[in-house]
A and B are shown apart, each in its own frame.
Chain A
């Protein structure tokens, strides 16, 4: 079993839709959590950190459930430009040295 698991998708949604991605992690000692976005043939880029209390950045909302070892990302009012692969990332250690990446969830937003 992989340490960080994501549904690979693809999620095909129309513009304006709300879409949610889930991620589970197996190491209960994980310290911090992130969502990265990766466009086709590009490098991963940090989308947002995930706080224990949940956090929002514009149309994006991230949630963390430590008890269930579960992270989610909600995208509201999807745009064509949101089409990308979304990577769930867990930091096992206190410092940024022990990142574990999920394989990613593909989102395709269509007009």
Chain B
């Protein structure tokens, strides 16, 4: 258990409203990631962070912004939610493997429905 929590776990919102999702980790991991998962698609990277105040875009960053003001929290904001942003959102941290490089460990996810 890499100590990742996400909040809220479920959210229903209306088109045009701002939404912020929170990812919290307790083990001082430097790298954190936000993904979305939709049927028929693999997980797709939205944004990631490589340190406090250091973030970069992933492949599906349009309509999303992120912030990381302290190591333990990585926030994902939908400035004006659209129905196409209905999805399951996963936060992840980078996980070092002794034998084969690095991969990622995921939080429990947030289910977002935009009406």
Contacts and interface: CB of A to CB of B under 8 A. Distances in A.
B43 A97 contact: no
A74 interface: no
Contacts, number: 63
B62 interface: no
B104 A4 contact: no
B103 A32 contact: yes
Interface residues of A, number: 26
B42 A103 contact: yes
Interface in A82-104: 87, 89, 91, 94-97, 99-104
B42 A100 contact: yes
A101 B103 CA distance: 12
Interface in A60-84: none
Interface of A: 2, 4, 8, 31-32, 34, 42-46, 49, 51, 87, 89, 91, 94-97, 99-104
